[in-house]
Amino acid sequence: MLDGEVEIDGAYFGGHVRPENRVEDRVDRRKRENQSDRRRVVVALRQREGRTLSFVRMSEADGVEIARARMIAGAKLFADEATHWDALEMQFASTRINHSESYSDGHGKHTNMVESYFSRLRRMVRGQHHFVSHKYLYQYANHAAWLEDHRRRSNGGNAFALLGGSLNHPVSRVWAGYWQREAA
């Protein structure tokens, strides 16, 4: 459960439809029938000076129920001007930032911490992994959240924490034999 000041936002990953080479063969990729079914959104709740929780859903609006389930009633919510976050204003003290006007007001009204998480996750997907299947996106998002939460700890400290966690964890049924499965 998150308390204190919590930022919430969502970012879409995957599902890119490449345009055809010839203009006459191209379709309007904004229409639903021309979009991929593999596009997912990572909804992140980022506690200032605390944890990052990430969830993979089909729509950013699904983050409303996630926030209700994961935040303590006294928490203060920071979000952008997306209309689906309006449903949280009755339950939590909310502060909204309009990104078309500014990203921060200089007085703590921003979503920069959760945007920082998405920036690092995007760089991981593009730079390290090059491709992430929608089936495993939640694993990559959780890994990026762990890295974000422990970014101030030394590399040696992170290595020992990772090694200790993996040696004390049972065999993963999700990752066991993943290289033998068909490419999706």
Question: What average pLDDT does range 158-180 have in this prediction?
Answer: 84
Predicted confidence (pLDDT) at residue 182 exceeds the cutoff of 70: no
Predicted confidence (pLDDT) at residue 54 exceeds the cutoff of 90: yes
Residues 6+ apart with CB under 8 A from 131: 125
How many domains does one find in the chain?
Answer: 1
Q: What is the pLDDT of residue 66?
A: 94
Q: What is the pLDDT of residue 83?
A: 92
Predicted confidence (pLDDT) at residue 26 exceeds the cutoff of 80: yes
Q: Report how far residue 38's alpha carbon sits from residue 56's, in angstroms, rounded to the nearest whole number.
A: 12
Q: What is the pLDDT of residue 143?
A: 92
Pick 19 or 163 by higher pLDDT: 163
Question: What average pLDDT does range 114-135 have in this prediction?
Answer: 89
Chain mean pLDDT for the chain: 88
CATH for 80? 3.30.420
- Helix, strand, or coil (residue 55): strand
Phi first, then psi, for residue 96 (nearest 5°) are -115, 145
pTM greater than 0.85 (yes/no): no
Q: What is the pLDDT of residue 179?
A: 66
Question: What average pLDDT does range 149-169 have in this prediction?
Answer: 93
Categorize the per-residue pLDDT at 53 as very low, low, confident or very high, splitting at 50, 70 and 90: very high
Structural domain span for residue 12: 5-180
